[in-house]
Structures are given as structure tokens and as C-alpha cells.
């Protein structure tokens, strides 16, 4: 909801950090084909992610922001595969190369 309040008058907006640490791994998304994330999390939740993706894409266009997505990667996860769900959740931005996924190793 907060992102919807951003207007062109907010000229200093340069970066957004979206922290989705642990949430995706609690759902087991690191083991899901990114093309099938919608099936894994359910249609309603996936629709909300796609809405966020489009909103962030609009902000990226109007403000030239860079989106950084922080996610938690457990020690047993494949580093490359662990970040692929970010691309599945934010496909428009990922296709544009407008997402900086930032993985961090967790101890769980």
C-alpha cells in the first residue's frame, strides 16, 4: 500500500529494498521450478505478487529506481536455484534485468 502513494513529486526515490528473507524457504520455493511458483503458493497469493511486480515496474520506469531483493538461503540450498524464485515472483522486473537479488546464507 505504501508504494502506491509514491508520486512523480518524490524525486529522491532511488532504490527499494524488498526483504523476503525466510518467507520463500518456509514455503519450500527453492525447490520449485520458477515457472510453477504460482502453483506452489496458490493463485491468490501469486496474483498479489504479480500486482506488486507491475507496481514496482511502474516505479522503476517513472523514477529509475533499482530494486534489491534480499532473500535468505539456507546452507543446503543451491545458491543459483535459491535466487530463481525471485525471478518467478517478479517476472516483469526480472525480464528487464531490473532486480538485484541479494542472497544471504542463514544458519537454519
Closest CA to 85 of 72, 97, 75: 72
**CA atoms of 80 and 78, how far apart (whole Å):** 6
- The per-residue pLDDT for range 62-98, each reduced to its tens digit, is 877 888 888 776 555 555 555 677 788 888 988 888 8
The full set of domain ranges for the chain reads 34-68+77-108
Confidence category of residue 50, pLDDT binned at 50, 70, 90: very high
Assess contact for 101 and 83: CB atoms under 8 A.
yes
Q: Whole-prediction pTM value?
A: 0.76
pLDDT of 43 over the 80 cut: yes
**CA atoms of 28 and 45, how far apart (whole Å):** 15
Amino acid at each position: 500500500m505504501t508504494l502506491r502513494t509514491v508520486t512523480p513529486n518524490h524525486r529522491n526515490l532511488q532504490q527499494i529494498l524488498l526483504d523476503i528473507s525466510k518467507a520463500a524457504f518456509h514455503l519450500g520455493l527453492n525447490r520449485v521450478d520458477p515457472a510453477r511458483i504460482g502453483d506452489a503458493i496458490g493463485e491468490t497469493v501469486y496474483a498479489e505478487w504479480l500486482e506488486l511486480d507491475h507496481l514496482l515496474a511502474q516505479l522503476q520506469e517513472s523514477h529509475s529506481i533499482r530494486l534489491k531483493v534480499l532473500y535468505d538461503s539456507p546452507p543446503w540450498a543451491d545458491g543459483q536455484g535459491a535466487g530463481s524464485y525471485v525471478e518467478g515472483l517478479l517476472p516483469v522486473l526480472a525480464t528487464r534485468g531490473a532486480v538485484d537479488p541479494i542472497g544471504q546464507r542463514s544458519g537454519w
